[in-house]
Amino acid sequence: MINGAHVIIYSRDAEADRAFLRDVLGYPHVDVGGGWLIFKLPPAEMAVHPTEAAAEAHELYLMCDDLDKTVAELAAKGVTTSPPTQARWGVLTSITLPGGGTLGLYEPRHPTAIDLNQA
């Protein structure tokens, strides 16, 4: 039986991005050797969106209950985010990682599957 999901973020500076996830976001982790850290993520959900693109793509968004508060907490730790934008389904921004990549972050304005765990 499937019991989880493993997300991979590719980075031009994996060591810096691992340190960011460990030290700034505070994600618990295991060290599997050689500096390779695997992080425990918050509860997750998955959606499948239609596409007309020739190649399929996958995205990763972190979720929060209060985007303004979360962005302020991240800014206090020196984290850069993009200006928030409103969408029909929530408010979103992106976090700039030390390695140069970005992670999506959003406050959903729809029911979430994560709430199913609390029922």
pTM (2 d.p.):
0.84
- Top-confidence residue, 47 or 116: 47
The domain defined by 14-44+58-118 folds into 2,3-Dihydroxybiphenyl 1,2-Dioxygenase; domain 1 (3.10.180)
Domain residue spans in the chain?
Answer: 14-44+58-118
The first and second tokens of residue 34, run together, are 């050689």
Judge whether residue 80 has pLDDT over 70: yes
Contact 102, 57 (CB under 8 A): no
* pLDDT tens readout for residues 38-71: 999 999 988 888 888 887 778 889 999 999 999 9
